[in-house]
Structure 1
Amino acid sequence: MLRRLFLLIIISAIPSMACMSTGLKDRKDRADDPVLRQKAMEAVKITEAPVIDGKLDEEIWLKSELADNFVQYSPYSGSPSKFRTEVRILYDNSAIYIGAMMYDPNPDSIYTELGERDSDYGLNADQFAVDISPYNDGINGATFKVSVSGVQSDKIPTSDHRSRSDTWDAVWESRTSIIENGWVAEIRIPYSALRFPKAEVQTWGINFWREVRRSREQSSWNYVDRETGSTFNHLGELSSIRDIEPPLRLSMTPYVSAYLEKNPYRSRPGFTYNGGLDLKYGINESFTLDATLVPDFGQVQSDDRVLNLSPYEVRYNEKRPFFMEGTELFNKGNIFYSRRIGSAPKGYYNVYDSLGPTEEVVYNPGESSLINATKISGRTKSGLGIGVFNAMTNSMYATVEDIESGDKRQVMTDPLTNYSMIVLDQSMKNNSYISLVNTNVWRNAEKDENFYTANVSGTEFSIRDRSRQYSFSGQAAVSQKYYKDIENDFGHAFHFRTGKTGGALRLEYVLEASSDTYDQNDMGYMKRNNELQNQVNISYNIFKPFWKILNSRTSFSFMHMMLYVPRVFTGAEFNFNSNVTFINHAMVFLRARYKPYGEDDYYEPRVEGWFYHRGREFATNVWLSSDRSKKVSGNIRVSYNKIWSPYDQYQYSFSFGPTLKLTDRFSLNYDFEIRKRINDIGYVDSNDEQEIIFFGLRNNMTVENKLQTAYIFSADSYLSLRLRHYWSRADYLDQYYTLNTDGSLTDADLDDNFDYNYNAWNIDLVYTWRFAPGSEMSVVWKNSIYSGTEQIFYDFGQNMRHMFETGMTNSLSLKILYYFDWMNLRKKS
């Protein structure tokens, strides 16, 4: 089997090696081609605005210069687009107007699938987009995109400036129409959606994009070099923008919501209602204040909960709108994890340790109550980005009752807590930057030594050369914990990488370390500390079609791992990765990993200074995907992992996911996965007094089913359904061990039952109607079951019956929010 895999690896790498010399030559040719140089156009100011109706039939559009001669980004980077595109720009004192004509010889073949807002990446439809950078620095700005079917998407550059985030939502207008020789997009972007400097005459960075879905061609007005790894710093110029003033950017979005909930712990349904407000205020032309007062996040998508047998915390994605929108600046330094705010109280589990012999916990809230949150962010004319974030959660208490006397007492599980963050980010030439960041968590609990104040200060930087082919980047941080009566904790961490990070051939060295006392987890997320790693990465990218290959990336890496304190070797790892997209848009992903010395795992024992030695390991997985633009598509993934040990340990998984696009309005996606770990060994218990750590031999099987479907009534009205069932069981084989100081195991007798059978069931049915710009009504039904038992079920049907017998929670909610813009209100008055 290993011999066959090695042969497959060699075959996957051949296209990369064959194209290496060709790619280097292509780069020089592009630099000499006038078609690929930076383009420019002058803006034309108007006094009468065009009607946004998707027609472009008004003569006023003819006053504008024409942006045409688009260049392919993919598949044939640098070649002229096969489809003619013409774009015109106008502006007045309140907005910028964009009219785009996408010519197509076969308009009846244009893909027109409908989707939800910001669904552009998965949308099976032709699309048009504009990148705007009012500071013309290649870093700050926004992307506005509309599909032929009218679906809007808007994005801003991520903190690393290499991609774009759709967590930002702006209020702007667009209309589209299909005509006899192609399709039209007409866009109005109010200045309230942009941040731009005060200047009599301005030059903005701008670029236009077009995607023809049936041929997968992506083209842009200004040429974008795919080999630099960034698109937003390849902008053309829009000059002669005169006498425009940054408007008063003040908007409010009040909301009301109502919930009807029935859970198995209450005999009657409970009814609650809420009201609150989101506020946006432009402090000046560069900075914006965002605030949320008495927020309600009850309608966000349910988390994909799992059975966690590892020593590490499960990280869940942020889904609350306020903590997703406009937070790119706060991602600097990688020390901010917004799910900490409003998470489980710090002392949630301490309550159970303080119970008397006749006491029980009758009430213990699982989430802290968020009072408010505020963020201020923006960037000065000199390129200095400033971000200030603050949020406050209320004191939380659990109720403990004496079952004999009936007396109740309150136990504080989380004091009044303030979370704050400050970011300074200076942009420099060549898309380089340097940042300073600080987070602080203050807890109002002077009399309780279990609580403390936490502070993390850090920096992030990236220095790139003029060609953006070479870079040196890194992060460094210091953590401090301040206690009342005990010694304070200090720690440090850093991550540096340097090398050739652009172009087809890339080579990179990475050094990463964290001390045993470093801890950023009060406001950030870190899986583990006390590590010292050296890594070398080499990769080759194919950007132009070659043979039957559309594009590909092949990489090799080697990692050497140690503890930071003491400096002991813990393992080494070789990795191979190959991603290939074929001309028919099918994709193949191949992964392989080999640990020749096994691993000394210092985290699985859960006790400082102890480690468990795993034998040498080999893992591989293959993922295949068909063309997703077809009516029927899908993917298959197979993985296998082998650990050489006396226990015959291995694991494998299989998954498949068909997708049906039944109409342009209705789609259905199903994902199935089964994972099995055979003779897995892990921590089960410890005896602190005798310093004994127990491990157990177990079989772990996980089955996950997900069904997602959506019906799109229009670009502003849609119904979506998401159903997920997760079933995982840890079946211990009555074979237990004690951990020895050299990482080996010795047989042990243990009578406790550690078997665990876990189910998570979620249904999220959501109807959304955007009835006005920035305003929407949403109706959500949630159905959930979370059950865990020591009884193991081997039959799927029997497991399902037991899960439904444990009781479910049903929630039906209505939320209405309305967007008020001060400039619009003033115009109407």
Structure 2
Amino acid sequence: MPTGNKTPAGRVLFILLLLLICSGTATVGAQQKKSIEAVRTPDKMKIDGRLDEPSWPDAPSAGDFIIYNPHNGVPSSKRTEVRVLYDNDALYIGAMLYDEAPDSIFMELGERDEGDINADHFWIEISPFNDGLNGEMFKVSSTNVQIDNKLTTGDSWGHNDTWDAVWESHTSIVAEGWIAEIRIPYSALRFPGAENQLWGINFWREVRRNRETSSWNFVTKEFGATIAHLGELTGIRDIEPPLRLSLVPYVSGYLEHVSDEPGVGTSYNGGLDLKVGLTESFTLDATLIPDFGQVQSDDHVLNLSPYEVRYNEKRPFFMEGTELFNKGNIFYSRRIGGTPHLVRDVHGMIEDSEIVTRNPAEVSLLNATKISGRTDGGLGIGLFNAVTNSTWAEVENVLTGETRHIRTEPLTNYNMLVLDQTMKNDSYVSLMNTNVIRAAEKDEHFYTANVTGFEALLKSANRLWSASAGGSLSQKYYSAAETALGHSIGFNAGKTGGRFRTDYNFSLLSDTYDPNDMGYLRSNNEISHSLDFGYNTYEPFGNFMSTRTAVEFNYSQLYNPMAFTSADVELSGMVIFMNYWSFSLDLEFSPWGENDYFEPRTSDMSMYYHRPAAVEAGFRGDTDKSKRFYIEASGEYYRAWSDYGQHGYMWAFQPEFKVSRHFSFDYSISVEKMFNDIGYVSADPAEGITFGKRNVSTITNTVSGALVFTASSYLTLRGRHYWSRADYDGNYYTLQTDGALLDRIYSTTVDNSDVNTNFLNIDLIYTWRFAPGSELSLAWKNAIRGEGEQIITNGLENFSELFSMPQTNSISLKILYYLDYQNFRKLFRSK
């Protein structure tokens, strides 16, 4: 039997792999960091987009930009000059972005942090600790729209756009192109307390009309996030990290009307956000009596699955500066101020003569605090604490008129600690812990929960190979004598850079592992393996700008009892054309089907439903987003091989219109149909677990628009209607121990399984950023939610019925004002 690489085919394969690895190594090794010196300025700097202060010509310029996209590694087609100044308070960046056709520069306006508008862009990536893992990005459009992000190593760009800093910028169009002038106060940065600073920095430019993106220090597409490719900023010396102290007090008022209740309710709120620099590198952020009533409404859905729906975080305090707390995947901030534990159990806790008169669906947040930063040695430390108030339902006895209260959530304290040590080659090791303490007698609902975890990532010197490992231990303390322990383990290794990529991933979640008191885990009790191979091209050829192909093999089993659950193969491919259109295809095949232990909803995993072998195919296509009109479209098709004939499809279509530089809107529709779907209906000790056959239809329509008056004043609209119905066809089954189904008679007159669900949300918000960090917002929100057992198949009839359902309308005004200690100090010093 042939072994090793003795066969011709084996030798050829070995040589090809060696060439791929060596070519990637050569690419990385050829890179050299550029360096630019910052010059101290004695001038009183005015940020006006003119660069006319005497110090600007004294600073050396950074030029010779290199294209990132489309022709990675080729000199930029546009000349760019960037200079850096500094004083005791701030860093100043002046960029002259030459363009032979300044009248052709794209000039669309957008909201704050709207980075995909049709405008040219210039931005800075900066890492004061120069560790290749953490930093900040400050980006400005040709129309002076500001965008700022935290930089991480999460993906190819590694941007976390939930961070907002207070900084200044101004842009102007001139005969030679356009100018960007930026002031970044030291209070927006964290940096070592060294006499001579050495920071990582890179400058970027996007020419929107030809979609060319280039950078000062070369960034290869073949590996790593952009923060791993920074040049160096020298010359900054004898600066002291300033006292970072800022307050953002707010006041807000609400008018609210619920359609089936008389009158209009009013409420007023006031609170404070506080930011304090504890040291040059560590910051305390706190919010006291916060008000998040104006955040975008959640996209609610009809959930027929056994899993909890995960909703994205939209509250600013929990989105900004939380990079450290995302380590280990044990922190889900929506747990804080979420739904009370017993909100759905109240009706089962009352007498026949009692009714529930009040049952709050949301816990009140009293305060939250986070401390985060990084030492000169690269040790990141994060501390988080939040306190939520007790929540009570009110119950009235209709015979006596007496009322009583049922506690649905006690006073609760949430805590998290993270330690994250950076190492060379963009590697790190982290330790994290979450702890939830409820001020109540411990029982099955109110207990103390603790999760401790670690993760580590190691990369090779050329960043082409990596290995990571992690694990967590969850603990629940119901009483001094009763605890529940669970654990998770994960491992990943492979070639994660270059054109050819491959990696193996292993994950183990015990049946008792539960981080969900402060985290989110869709399901536990699983062991999974995956092995994938991919090949990417980054250089344009023919009509193709870049391509990506991959194949992935997955195998999963239950942890307890040890049993097979699924095995599948996934194929995917994507291409970006030279005209910036893109198209992707995905194919997934499950030849042995799936033994689903979660759909039967048994706590001991004693039953499973065998899903038949199936295939699923999907596509996605986009046109050029730099055009005034572009389209996104996608679709999927699913078919199972069974006697029940399960099949379905989904399609989505989204056109966007950029009507003018001030006004844009988009409309999206998605339609999902599943025919002869089999799912859980009910469970009874005598009759067993009942499944039913149903047709599930979901249609979602969303309209979004923005009317932008200036870069700091805009009106936004988002309206979403979600309509989903599950129509059971009268075929019901009893689940057998081998995963099969046995026909049975099921009385739908006792329990009608059909469901028709509607959600309508409209958010109309005017925002005026009247000063740096300060904001006035006026919002109107409309919410309609309805669910019934009568199936409506006609769309017009359903829409007309929608407005007969209970709805909530609210109008709110919120004003917050940014107060910074450094501004007051300079004001008094000038006087």
User: Pairwise mapping of residues 86-101 of structure 1 onto structure 2 (< 5 A)?
Assistant: 86-101=81-96
Q: Hey, what does 1:115 align to over in structure 2? A: 110
Q: Do 1:49 and 1:92's aligned partners in 2 also have CA atoms closer than 8 Å?
A: no
User: Pairwise mapping of residues 12-411 of structure 1 onto structure 2 (< 5 A)?
Assistant: 27=24, 30=27, 36-120=31-115, 122-158=116-152, 160=154, 163-411=158-406
Cα 1:21/1:118, change in 2 over 3 Å: farther
Instruction: Indicate which of 734, 737, 742 corresponds to 1:738.
Output: 734
- Is 1:633 the counterpart of 2:626? The answer is no
Give the whole-Å Cα distance in 2 for the aligned partners of 1:696 and 1:238: 65
Q: What amino acid maps onto 2:384 in structure 1? A: F
- Is 1:614 the counterpart of 2:608? The answer is no
Give the whole-Å Cα distance in 1 for the aligned partners of 2:38 and 2:543: 43
Q: 1:101-127 deviations in whole A, cap 9, x for unaligned?
A: 11111111111111111111x211110
Q: 1:620-653 deviations in whole A, cap 9, x for unaligned?
A: 1111111111111102212100011110110101
Q: What amino acid maps onto 2:295 in structure 1? A: V
User: Pairwise mapping of residues 348-497 of structure 1 onto structure 2 (< 5 A)?
Assistant: 348-446=343-441, 448-484=443-479, 487-497=482-492
Q: Hey, what does 1:570 align to over in structure 2? A: 565
Cα 1:714/1:26, change in 2 over 3 Å: farther
SS at match of 1:800: helix
Q: Hey, what does 1:727 align to over in structure 2? A: 723
Give the whole-Å Cα distance in 1 for the aligned partners of 2:130 and 2:481: 52
Q: Hey, what does 1:699 align to over in structure 2? A: 695
Give the whole-Å Cα distance in 2 for the aligned partners of 1:638 and 1:521: 33
Give the whole-Å Cα distance in 2 for the aligned partners of 1:593 and 1:634: 26
Give the whole-Å Cα distance in 2 for the aligned partners of 1:441 and 1:167: 25
Give the whole-Å Cα distance in 2 for the aligned partners of 1:30 and 1:699: 54
Deviation at 1:485, TM superposition (A): 6.9
Q: What amino acid maps onto 1:780 in structure 2? A: A
Q: What amino acid maps onto 2:695 in structure 1? A: N
Q: Hey, what does 2:514 align to over in structure 1? A: 519
Deviation at 1:241, TM superposition (A): 1.1
Give the whole-Å Cα distance in 1 for the aligned partners of 2:486 and 2:443: 23
Q: Do 2:507 and 2:528's aligned partners in 1 also have CA atoms closer than 8 Å?
A: yes
Q: What amino acid maps onto 2:348 in structure 1? A: D
Q: Do 2:133 and 2:152's aligned partners in 1 also have CA atoms closer than 8 Å?
A: no
Give the whole-Å Cα distance in 2 for the aligned partners of 1:821 and 1:547: 55
SS at match of 1:309: coil
Q: Do 2:133 and 2:153's aligned partners in 1 also have CA atoms closer than 8 Å?
A: no
Give the whole-Å Cα distance in 1 for the aligned partners of 2:191 and 2:709: 36
Q: Do 2:121 and 2:142's aligned partners in 1 also have CA atoms closer than 8 Å?
A: yes
Q: Hey, what does 2:801 align to over in structure 1? A: 802
Q: When the two structures are superposed, what TM-score results if normalisation uses the length of structure 1?
A: 0.96
Q: 1:204-227 deviations in whole A, cap 9, x for unaligned?
A: 111100011111111111111211
Q: Hey, what does 2:786 align to over in structure 1? A: 787
Give the whole-Å Cα distance in 2 for the aligned partners of 1:297 and 1:671: 27
Q: Hey, what does 2:756 align to over in structure 1? A: 757
Q: Do 1:159 and 1:328's aligned partners in 2 also have CA atoms closer than 8 Å?
A: no
SS at match of 1:226: coil
Give the whole-Å Cα distance in 2 for the aligned partners of 1:29 and 1:357: 78
Q: Hey, what does 1:652 align to over in structure 2? A: 649
Unpaired stretches in structure 2, ≥5 consecutive residues? 1-15
Q: What amino acid maps onto 1:764 in structure 2? A: D
Q: Do 1:134 and 1:204's aligned partners in 2 also have CA atoms closer than 8 Å?
A: yes
Q: Do 2:618 and 2:636's aligned partners in 1 also have CA atoms closer than 8 Å?
A: yes
Give the whole-Å Cα distance in 2 for the aligned partners of 1:537 and 1:304: 33
SS at match of 1:195: coil
Instruction: Indicate which of 523, 543, 555 corresponds to 2:550.
Output: 555
Greater Cα offset, 769-778 or 533-542: 533-542
SS at match of 1:242: coil
Q: Hey, what does 2:9 align to over in structure 1? A: none
SS at match of 1:244: coil
Give the whole-Å Cα distance in 2 for the aligned partners of 1:71 and 1:389: 41
Q: Hey, what does 1:714 align to over in structure 2? A: 710
Deviation at 1:62, TM superposition (A): 0.5
Give aligned-pair identity as a percent: 54
SS at match of 2:533: strand
RMSD: 1.5
Q: What amino acid maps onto 2:618 in structure 1? A: N
Deviation at 1:407, TM superposition (A): 2.1
Cα 1:161/1:596, change in 2 over 3 Å: closer
Deviation at 1:464, TM superposition (A): 0.4
Deviation at 1:202, TM superposition (A): 1.3
Cα 1:183/1:371, change in 2 over 3 Å: same
SS at match of 1:353: helix
Q: What amino acid maps onto 1:758 in structure 2? A: T
Give the whole-Å Cα distance in 2 for the aligned partners of 1:100 and 1:419: 45
Q: Do 1:159 and 1:332's aligned partners in 2 also have CA atoms closer than 8 Å?
A: no
Q: What amino acid maps onto 1:694 in structure 2? A: T
Greater Cα offset, 395-404 or 95-104: 395-404
SS at match of 1:50: coil
Give the whole-Å Cα distance in 1 for the aligned partners of 2:443 and 2:612: 45
Give the whole-Å Cα distance in 2 for the aligned partners of 1:158 and 1:309: 36
Deviation at 1:28, TM superposition (A): 6.0
SS at match of 2:601: coil
Deviation at 1:808, TM superposition (A): 1.4
**What is the aligned length?**
807
Give the whole-Å Cα distance in 2 for the aligned partners of 1:785 and 1:703: 16
Deviation at 1:80, TM superposition (A): 0.6
Give the whole-Å Cα distance in 2 for the aligned partners of 1:777 and 1:201: 41
Q: Hey, what does 2:810 align to over in structure 1? A: 811
Greater Cα offset, 498-507 or 480-489: 480-489
- Is 1:666 the counterpart of 2:650? The answer is no
SS at match of 1:805: coil
SS at match of 2:178: strand
Deviation at 1:22, TM superposition (A): 9.3
Give the whole-Å Cα distance in 2 for the aligned partners of 1:447 and 1:228: 50
Q: Hey, what does 2:10 align to over in structure 1? A: none
Deviation at 1:30, TM superposition (A): 4.3
Give the whole-Å Cα distance in 1 for the aligned partners of 2:480 and 2:676: 46
Q: Do 1:449 and 1:485's aligned partners in 2 also have CA atoms closer than 8 Å?
A: no
Q: 1:736-780 deviations in whole A, cap 9, x for unaligned?
A: 111111111111111121100000001000100000000000000
SS at match of 1:167: coil
Q: 1:154-180 deviations in whole A, cap 9, x for unaligned?
A: 111236475110111111110001111
Deviation at 1:474, TM superposition (A): 2.5
SS at match of 1:826: helix
Q: What amino acid maps onto 1:731 in structure 2? A: D
Q: Hey, what does 1:530 align to over in structure 2? A: 525
Give the whole-Å Cα distance in 2 for the aligned partners of 1:226 and 1:395: 51
Q: Do 2:25 and 2:462's aligned partners in 1 also have CA atoms closer than 8 Å?
A: no
SS at match of 1:62: helix
Instruction: Indicate which of 675, 679, 683 corresponds to 1:678.
Output: 675
Give the whole-Å Cα distance in 2 for the aligned partners of 1:22 and 1:809: 64
Q: Do 2:696 and 2:727's aligned partners in 1 also have CA atoms closer than 8 Å?
A: yes
Deviation at 1:660, TM superposition (A): 0.6
Deviation at 1:26, TM superposition (A): 6.0
Give the whole-Å Cα distance in 2 for the aligned partners of 1:355 and 1:587: 58
Q: When the two structures are superposed, what TM-score results if normalisation uses the length of structure 2?
A: 0.95
Deviation at 1:807, TM superposition (A): 2.5
